[in-house]
């Protein structure tokens, strides 16, 4: 049983490394990093040249009643896009990390696009 857990972690790390090898954020075009846990969602715009988080958003910033997780992810993406627009950021590169591009991760991307960010 423990061997299977180690393999899952190794495979997830490989997927993340493979995605990050192709993506690099700059000050003009930062990287959108997505982290999702079982309950919450955290998004950051990162300038990899300086190693600095430019803007961040999390789903707990949004007052949501009985919203589904995907609806909340969409709103969080919109919030990140709005914060980025205030700073004059219009373009970004999307880092899905080791997650599949569907569900909450896709909803974040759609929300950020609706707010005006271009990938």
* pLDDT tens across the length of the chain (119 residues): 566 667 888 988 888 888 888 888 888 899 999 999 999 999 999 998 999 999 999 999 998 778 899 999 999 999 999 999 999 999 999 998 889 999 999 999 999 999 999 98
pTM score, whole prediction: 0.85
What is the C-alpha separation between 76 and 112, in angstroms, rounded? 8
**Structure-token pair, residue 13:** 């790390």
Q: How far is CA 105 from CA 2, 7, 45, 52, 88, in A?
A: 28, 23, 15, 22, 24
Q: Look-up: residue for tokens 């000050």? A: 27
Nearest CA among 114, 29, 46 for reference residue 77: 114
């Amino acid at each position: 049983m423990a061997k299977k857990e180690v393999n899952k972690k190794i495979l997830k790390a490989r997927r993340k490394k493979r995605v990050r090898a192709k993506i690099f954020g700059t000050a003009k075009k930062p990287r959108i990093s997505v982290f999702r846990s079982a309950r919450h969602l955290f998004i950051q715009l990162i300038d990899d040249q300086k190693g600095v988080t430019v803007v961040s958003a999390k789903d707990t910033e949004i007052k949501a009643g009985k919203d589904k997780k995907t609806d909340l992810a969409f709103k969080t993406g919109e919030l990140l896009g709005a914060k980025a627009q205030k700073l004059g950021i219009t373009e970004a590169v999307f880092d899905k990390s080791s997650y599949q591009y569907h569900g909450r991760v896709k909803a974040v991307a759609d929300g950020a696009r609706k707010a005006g960010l271009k990938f």
